[in-house]
Amino acid sequence: MKTKTEFPLGFTLIELLVVIAISAIVASLVLPALSKAKAKGQSVACINNLRQLQLSWHIYVDDNNDALPLNGAVPDARGMAKASAGSWVVGNTQTDTTTSNIQSGSLLKYANSVGVYHCPSDKSTVGGQTGLRRTRSYSLNYWLNGDASAFSGFSNENAQRDSFIKSKFAQIIDPPPAEMGGFIDEHEQSIDDGAMVVDNPAENTDEIWYDLPSDRHSQGCNFSFLDGHIGHWRWKLPKKFKSHNQTHTPGPDLQDLRRLEQAFVPRVK
């Protein structure tokens, strides 16, 4: 009969190393799947946010005799821009420390949960505020009642002087609402005011990235169409922000730009 001391009291060193190795293998198999599932869930939440914003935009139009909400911009500090008073949102999301500028926007009456203005995949923080997440990740197509006439050299950039800029829903003809982009998940280094400017190739043959879309959803971004459905486009090339008005990279990057132009720029005056 064995004595008590003859029975093993725990793992040997080799057995412990085997257990650790197996645990590491299991973790290496499970963690990527969990990470992918988390990213997918965040993209779904982003899509739902955009759907709510687009619906609120439509209700505003219906309540205001076909008029589109203002999407104006004025100069801000350090060469940036901020959304002007009366616009769908107000202020500069890179420097806003509270949700007050969202709450001052004309769409809050219809999209009154401030959480829908922020993409859960957007980890960017307010400038100079360590750890303070921004309140907004989305911008609205500039050609939908944009107004940049407060900037030097852009006095004609409003619906009264540039017929490419639409102020009434009935003016949106080509592309039609089902093919015209509305709200978009903008790149965290590009976004400041509430307008996403996709340069018009009919007015600028250089074809530049004035603002840059995000690529945080599997190297792509989510955006809404004016009929209410949501699109997700994966870019051929990751989007690296250098500056506003940056030149495209020939090849895949230019193809991405032209694809966005097709959905975000009116083709008729």
What is the per-residue pLDDT for 55?
98
- Give the pLDDT confidence of 211-220 residue by residue, as tens digits: 999 999 999 9
- How far is 250 from 256, CA to CA, in rounded Å? 10
Q: What is the pTM of this model?
A: 0.87
Mean pLDDT of the chain: 91
Structure token digits, residue 72: 């104006």
Residue in 94, 133, 110, 126 with CA at minimum distance from that of residue 57:
110
**Residue 131: what are its φ and ψ, rounded to 5°?**
85, -5
pLDDT digits (tens, 9 = 90+) for 119-160: 999 999 999 998 999 999 999 999 999 999 999 999 999 999
Which residues in the chain land under pLDDT 50? 2
List Cβ neighbours of 106 (8 Å cut-off, separation of 6 or more). 60, 69, 70, 86, 87, 88
pLDDT at residue number 138: 98
User: Which pLDDT score, from 0 to 100, does residue 25 have?
Assistant: 74
How many CA atoms lie within 13 Å of 81's alpha carbon, on the beta-carbon side?
25
In sequence order, what DSSP letters do the residues of 17-71 get, joined into one string?
HHHHHHHHHHHHHHHHHHHHHHHHHHHHHHHHHHHHHHHHHHHHHHHTTTBPPBE
